Structure 1
């Protein structure tokens, strides 16, 4: 049970739903490591006996865990605990992000601003940390992207992978996941505006310049070039 207050400062006892109590117990067990990544949870019947509740409370709690991304539910199998990662968490937020962007168009501008700030920090780190293998991978992406001229969907897909690879140079999985998620949300919000018609060769030229500056470890110039690249791209979103 939980307590709440009214306008007079009185505290009232609110009875917590059985399913919420089961949810809290299961979540605590997962956080404590009693059930680790890829472990199966006990069967519904075992959970009913363990917690002294009926099947509806157990099923509602399991569904909540599934919705939160903590477990996977498959028909005919016991629920399994998910292996959590930054990518998994942000992938799970995709639908909420879509709703947020479509419910308030101003949020789209906020997202573009956040990405510009984020990418400036990423490119600075990349210019300081990039190895020869990193540079080789980035140039391979540019070559692959050039092969997709005339195929807008695949051109944009490689564009996303190019920027994701730059984020990976930071060796920070949270940064890499957040960067990929923000770009994915931008693309999905107005997909018809990212076909880059007539701008593909400019994009390739800018990508090559960015990689040259990363290879030269010229962090300041790389940040400036990335800013120009993103500012030009934003014109497409606003058209």
Structure 2
């Protein structure tokens, strides 16, 4: 059993800022610890505060803390070593496509470098998906794409609704591909990008629409090279239009 926590002992460790209490306590603890590690409050090679300290800081039981540490270990953020406690691992060990880790990376990246990298990776994956879609699409699938494109045209003066139709268009393209892994990765990356406030700056919707029309035309024509090229250009160019200026860029 660990020694009881005293006020002087607790001050030896950094205070982890707890998020607003979630229905599942472990979600709150994991999210706060992931944020602390990504921000650098807990540096690689350092140890997490002892269980008793974390219990005190978060107001939860040892069981919740132990389960939360297991989740961190699964995400590659920490390792539990006998006799050395729970040590923080370097970014090279982190599971970057884990939703919680990726969300923290995006939220704590002042230079937007993570969103830049995300766009490059997403463009490569969606280009492969569009290429496959051009070879596999059925008439029913083309009709669903056509309907999403039409909705984009009809809502071009209403950006929130336009963006919803945009999401549907990409989802249908993803459903057509036989590359389930690529589609799953894209959905994770796209979801994280859309959650970032910095991704939602006003974009030139007329250009976005034109880019989707080019993707659709290539898929409809069964032209894999054109579909791949059009989708890659769309993802990269759309992010460049949205991207706010960065002093360190």
TM range (shorter): 0.5 to 0.7
Question: Which residue in 2 is equivalent to 1:79?
Answer: none
1:23-172 mapped onto 2 (5 Å cutoff): 93-104=98-109, 105-172=112-179
2:224 maps to 1:219: yes
Structure 1 residue 147, shift from structure 2 partner: 2.2
Which one has the largest radius of gyration?
A: 1
SS of 1:204's partner is: helix
| Unaligned 5+ runs, structure 2 | 1-60, 75-94, 245-249
TM-score, normalised to structure 1, is 0.58
Equivalents in 1 of 2:64, 2:237: separation in Å? 50
Q: Is the 8 A contact 2:130 2:227 kept in 1?
A: yes
Equivalents in 1 of 2:200, 2:208: separation in Å? 17
Deviation digits for residues 201-237 of structure 1 (CA, Å, limit 9, x no counterpart): 2222221221111121111111222222223212223
Structure 1 residue 141, shift from structure 2 partner: 0.3
2:224 maps to 1:209: no
Aligned residue pairs, count:
160
| Unaligned 5+ runs, structure 1 | 1-55, 70-89
Give the CA RMSD over aligned residues: 2.8
Q: Is the 8 A contact 1:213 1:219 kept in 2?
A: yes
SS of 2:133's partner is: helix
Equivalents in 2 of 1:215, 1:233: separation in Å? 22
TM-score, normalised to structure 2, is 0.56
Structure 1 residue 168, shift from structure 2 partner: 1.1
Deviation digits for residues 2-58 of structure 1 (CA, Å, limit 9, x no counterpart): xxxxxxxxxxxxxxxxxxxxxxxxxxxxxxxxxxxxxxxxxxxxxxxxxxxxxx676
